[in-house]
Amino acid sequence: MDRRFFSSALVTAAAWLSTSAAWAQAALFKSGKDFLTLDRPVATEAGAGKVEVIEFFWYSCSHCNAFEPTFAQWVKNAPKDVVVRRIPVSFREDFAPQQRLFFTIEAMNLLDTLHPKVFAAIHVGKLALNTDSSVLAWAEQQGVDKVKFNEIYKSFGVASKLKRAVQLQNDFKVEGVPSLGVAGRYYIDGSLAGGMDRALKITESLIAQSRPAQTSTQAVKPKS
């Protein structure tokens, strides 16, 4: 057998087995029981051939704080075709300062360093960080450029992201946090899944189902 033909056949077989395994796992999870399927799909920001996963969270939520290390590791190990977004929720008006804080450090490319520190400040340092003044004071203590932070924090761009975050929260019908949205079509939280570790397994299954159908690699025959 020609080597290129054989290699191509192996790739096709491997892809088929991978897809079959994903669907077999998916059979273990039921819509309406383990996760919810949205009545109306939500537009995603992931590019073509990508699957978007959204984590809905609140910095002051103890469950979100406990889930953060696990989710951060999961994000690091996520497949390249998975695009992860974090969206801070707003169930009350006093959630807004923390939403602004998140979107500000995101805009400043400081999420990797400051995102876990916000959780620590609230749950270990016992800071409320629920007012503009307390957020600005905390940011300055982290050595962040005070003028630049304040400018972005109060910017139209951040205000727009707050509105979009609330819209996404409503579109996914978020009932609690932490929770996850997959491919603009599915919603999962700890209550539905029976824990956030299982929620991630369900997420992985839904990611596999949501991938665009891959065209089977055709065998390449040697030229005569």
* Structure confidence by residue, pLDDT tens digits, 72-118: 999 999 999 999 999 999 999 999 999 999 999 999 999 999 999 99
| Contacts of 179 by beta carbon, 8 Å cutoff, 6+ apart | 55, 56, 172, 187, 188, 189, 190, 199
| Contacts of 58 by beta carbon, 8 Å cutoff, 6+ apart | 64, 88, 89, 91, 95, 98, 177
Per-residue pLDDT of 26-82, as tens digits, reads 568 999 999 999 999 999 999 899 999 999 999 999 999 999 999 999 999 999 999
Taking residues 167-186, what's their average pLDDT? 98
Classify the C-alpha dihedral 131-134-139-140 as positive or negative: positive
Q: Among candidates 57, 52, 61, which has minimal Cα distance to 71? A: 57
Q: How many CA atoms lie within 13 A of 124 on its CB side?
A: 8
| Rounded-to-integer distance, Cα 207 and Cα 75, Å | 13
| Structure-block tokens of residue 204 | 């992985």
| Structure-block tokens of residue 40 | 């109306």
pLDDT for position 25? 58
| Structure-block tokens of residue 165 | 């975050």
- pLDDT band of residue 14 (cuts 50, 70, 90) is very low
- The average confidence (pLDDT) of the chain is 88
| Rounded-to-integer distance, Cα 64 and Cα 69, Å | 9
Helices (H) and strands (E) in the chain, counts: 9, 5
Q: Among candidates 35, 142, 44, 130, which has minimal Cα distance to 88? A: 130
- pLDDT band of residue 123 (cuts 50, 70, 90) is very high
Q: How many CB atoms lie within 10 A of CB 126?
A: 7
| Structure-block tokens of residue 168 | 């996404």
pLDDT for position 8? 40
| Structure-block tokens of residue 193 | 């899944």
Strands 36-37 and 186-189, by their bridges, are: antiparallel
| Rounded-to-integer distance, Cα 90 and Cα 99, Å | 8
- pLDDT band of residue 9 (cuts 50, 70, 90) is very low
- pLDDT band of residue 219 (cuts 50, 70, 90) is very low
Question: Whole-model pTM?
Answer: 0.84
